[in-house]
Structure 1
Amino acid sequence: MKSAKTSIVAGIVLMTVGGLLLLDLLGVFKIAAFLPPLIFTAVGLVFVSLFVRSRENWWAAIPGSVFLGLAAVITATQLSPGDGGGSYLFLFMAAGFAAVYLRERGNWWALIPCGVMLTLAVIVALPPGLPGTAVAAVLFLGLAATFGLLSLVRVRLSDGPSEHQGRMKWPLIPAAALGVLGAIFALQATAALIALDFAVPAGMIVAGIALLVYAYRARRGGARKVHGT
């Protein structure tokens, strides 16, 4: 029965793509530019249908998300050329790994590539011209957040012959190390983004405030001495 359903889905997809190709050859409808995303979408939907029908097919979410992501990237590039379209691939892949975890909670490992893909999606979407330290800060902080959230997930833990639900502690180690590196790069990026031209007037303003505070305290101290206090 399952193989029959798969054949039906694949048959419909093939008939649709073949019909569109025939219309293109006859000059009725030009789809040459949209043919690659249509093919990727069709293949992706086949894997999605496999994922939806059975819990055993949790693996199908991964290739399905890849093909749908490729279709989204090509479509976004054709509609609005730019560098940000590549983030769609990583977003779809992150959704695919998230679906693997949600379908079978024992696949907690899928949360790691999910977080990595989300981090890469943010990096690709960053505006051009940022210093490398800013990109590194986003990368390490995103990975630190991934392992930090992984430590909050309840999984099956083996304690000798028995098993119980609990949270893993080992993700806190890479989370802490990556968080420290991310903070260091973030501080370096912040310092690099502040130009020297802004540092001079900012320093003059801070010095002026310090002189005013000093004058106020000195005047107040002199007034106390006059009144004998």
Structure 2
Amino acid sequence: MLKKVPTTVKDEQLIKMRRNQMVKGAVNLFKQKGFHKTTTREIAKASGFSIGTLYEYIRTKEDVLFLVCDYIYEHVKERMESAIDTNKRSIASLYDAVTSYLQLMDDMQDEVIVMYQEVKSLPKEAQEYVLQKEKDMVLMLEKVIQNSLPYEIPAQDVKLVANNIFVQGQMWGFRRWILQKDFSIQQYIERQLHFLFQSLNIEQEQAVQQDIQ
């Protein structure tokens, strides 16, 4: 378990509020300038408080990056858990899960890009911590796939399909600059679902009908 980011403040609610401000300010700066070119003074200003106040809640700039990555993964995980029923046994649940996940990647595209660009700057222990959260989300997709299909497929194939879906979400973030010339997010989701169900030998219309019912 990763040690918590040090703080001299005792009020948990205040810590959460200040760090959320910090995350929002840092995401915009990291996207514009990158992690290494951004200063802690700039992060403090973008967060709406002084450099002195900033250091009451973190110890180093790497702490800010960790908080950014941790916040993004937690937010994505919470949204996925609220939108995806891993125990629901129908093709429609796979349709809903993929739709919810890809829509979420569109909603959080700036945060996702920052995270993947900058996670390499974290210390190894912190990298392992945040990347474990990604593994947990892929496992969530694996469970949906296993429960949704009307037939069994090898465990290796389940893992590959789950990772393919996960990467499709990342691809929208990293390649949307060119993809959005030809696809809206709704069209992108529809085509990715089409190819997914085609590869699994399932009629997509069957999933849509189950979802309506």
Q: TM-score, normalised by structure 2?
A: 0.30
Greater strand fraction, Structure 1 or Structure 2: 1
Q: TM-score, normalised by structure 1?
A: 0.28
Q: Which has the larger radius of gyration?
A: 1
- Greater relative CO, 1 or 2 (CA 8 Å, sep 6+): 2
